Structure formats: structure tokens, C-alpha cells
Amino acid sequence: MSGTWLPPEQYIATLPKATIYGCFFVTDQADRPIQLRAVRNPAVWQWPGGNLDDPGETPWGCAVRECMEETGLHIADVPRLPAVHFLPPLGDWTTHKVGFVFDGGRLDQDQIDRIVLDPDEHTEVAIRPLEDWRTRMSGFAFRRLAAVAEARRSGSVCYLEQPPTP
């Protein structure tokens, strides 16, 4: 910017746009990641979550709402954040995307048995040891999964950037 003052609505119009998502990283009691197969692209495995739908929604509120919609479960009451994820505009998606990955904890077998998928969103629930996911996901998606699992294990927070596609 040139340093010229603009009214807020004009200045905001000059800024990059972004969507925000909230999701939950969850495992079973043996720390095996639990993921959901996407309907729109069966090669994609996801955590329960999605985009903020309303200007008043927070990333935490979005993760809780989406998890309930996609699995029928309310899995966490306290926000614990092992990762933040930034994606540049990719393909037909013309805005940046910022994701908040919350720790949904370790689900017991009763919780896993109560998962009811939204058939418009996901076709399958899978629980696998971390290393088994490597061959089922893109390289970046697996690196994100592994980084979030390590952040949870170590009690740290990781920041992830998806590289732009050439």
C-alpha cells in the first residue's frame, strides 16, 4: 500500500481473502489416527471438520458443529490446538485457507461404535497405525497427519504451510 489512508471498508477490499476451517485430530486408545473418506474425492481422507459457515462462528465452534454433523459425536469440551494450517489458493479455490486443528482426544471403542457418518460427506471411517496412512494419502497430507500426531505427543503446536502448486 502507498501509505494513503483508506476508510476501513475500502482498505479491507484490498486485502487477500481467506476461508477458515476447524477440525479435530482424533485417535483410538492405541493412538491410531481416525480419518473419514471424502465422498467428493474417495482418495481424500479427512478429519471431522469443515469451513466456518457464518460470520459469528469461531474455529472451535465450527469444529464442534462439523464433528457433530459428520460423526454424530461431541468429542471435546476444551479447545486444545496442536496445529494451524495455511494453504494458498489452489486450483478452483481462489482464496487462502487457514485451518485450526484441534485435539479431539482418544476415542474409546464405545465412541467409535457410535460414529454415524453423514452420507453426503463421508463414506467410511478408518483407523490405522500412523505409518499405514503413508501409502493412502498424498505426501503433504501424510506429513500434516504425522506433524499433528507429533505435536500432540510432544505437547507442542505446529504450523504447517501447504506449498503452492506450480
Is pTM, for the whole model, over 0.85? yes
Collect all residues with Cβ–Cβ distance below 8 Å to 113 and sequence separation of at least 6.
none
Residue 60 lies in a domain: yes
Residue 6 lies in a domain: no
Residue 85 lies in a domain: yes
Residue 100 lies in a domain: yes
Residue 117 lies in a domain: yes
Range of the domain at 147: 17-155+157-161
3-state secondary structure labels for all residues of 97-148: EEEEEEEEEEECHHHHHCCCCCCCCEEEEEECCHHHHHHHCCHHHHHHHHHH
Residue 4 lies in a domain: no
Residue 58 lies in a domain: yes
Residue 71 lies in a domain: yes
CATH code for the domain in which residue 94 is found: 3.90.79.10
Tell whether the model's pLDDT for residue 166 goes beyond 70. no
Condensed to tens digits (0 to 9), the pLDDT of residues 73-131 reads 999 999 999 999 999 888 888 899 999 999 999 999 999 999 999 999 999 999 999 99
Q: Give the total number of structural domains in the chain.
A: 1
Condensed to tens digits (0 to 9), the pLDDT of residues 11-57 reads 989 888 899 999 999 999 999 999 999 999 999 999 999 999 998 99
Collect all residues with Cβ–Cβ distance below 8 Å to 26 and sequence separation of at least 6.
33, 34, 47, 48, 75, 104, 105, 106, 107
The pLDDT value given to residue 63: 98
